[in-house]
Amino acid sequence: MNTETKDLASPVLHDEQNRLDERQIRIDKVGVKGLRYPVRVRDKTHDHQDTIGLFNLSVDLPQEFKGTHMSRFLEVLNAHGREIDVMNISDILRELCTKLKSSSSHIEMEFPYFLEKKAPVTGAPGLVDYQVKFAAAMVAGHFELSVTVTVPVATLCPCSKAISERGAHNQRGYVTLTVKMGRKTVWIEDLVRIIEDSASCEIYSVLKRPDEKFVTEKAYDNPVFVEDLVRNVAQRLNAHPDLSWYRVEAENMESIHNHAAYAMIEKS
């Protein structure tokens, strides 16, 4: 055997993470945060779309271990390639528990999701991006998944319309909806549609003059307070057969104030 090769292979590296910790304090979550990773998510119209996910991966750490093995989080994620969705995220969580000898594991994945929208009159196509977050956990073998979408909308003030002779102030608002997934998958596109149908008007990326006239007049015909906005969303969610829990938040970036208006409804 080559002497140089033997010298490189012979040392046994010490595993500091497995050393006994005598403080007897369990850690609820330990792992990696802020990991950017290319992913492919399911798309209702086009089967899938490629995007970039921002990951937080964690497990619990029993009190007897000094530390966890950070590289194993990446090994598990890499083993699944770029296909990350509600169909295989539970498998990733189970593998994290097994590989890191933990009783619970957690994944948070945030990513931009794009939908093609055609202008309402001219049909001019354009892409609108929505921020989406998956938060999944496996605790003692029980799997739970929530999905959060943040959707920009247009809102027009009912009070301003009622008291003004020439127009009404309007602004961009943001609705953040979190739902817990049950046995049936609820598409991101369907959640976006529920929110956009609840606002004064939806947002587009490409608008020609006939389209701009349409959305301006539609918003004027459908004024909503921030309170109306969350109630409209909640009413549609209450009628959805596959959603038992949700939290809906709305924030209007007021155009005539230096503060935002906010409302929230949570169904327990």
Q: Which fold has domain 19-267?
A: Urate Oxidase (3.10.270)
Helices 71-79 and 89-99, axial angle in degrees (round to 10): 140
Contacting residues for 104 by C-beta, under 8 A, at least 6 apart: 59, 60, 97, 137, 138, 139, 140
pLDDT score for 10: 55
Task: Say how far apart CA 260 and CA 171 lie, in whole Å.
Answer: 10
Residues of the chain short of pLDDT 50, as ranges, are 1, 3
Ranges of H-type helices in the chain:
3-9, 71-79, 89-99, 158-163, 188-196, 209-221, 226-238
φ and ψ at residue 221, rounded to 5 degrees? -80, -10
Which pLDDT does position 58 carry in this prediction? 96
The pLDDT score that the predictor gives to residue 17 is: 61
Question: So where are the chain's domains?
Answer: 19-267
Question: What's the CA gap between 51 and 108, in Å, rounded?
Answer: 15
Q: What is the pLDDT of residue 1?
A: 46
Alpha carbons 249 and 8: distance in angstroms, whole number: 58
Q: CB of 104 within 8 A of CB of 140? A: yes
Note the pLDDT tens digit of each residue in 151-194. 999 999 999 999 999 989 999 999 999 999 877 889 999 999 99
For the chain, percent helix, then strand, then coil, each to nearest 5? Answer: 25, 40, 35
Record the pTM. Answer: 0.88
pLDDT at 88: 83
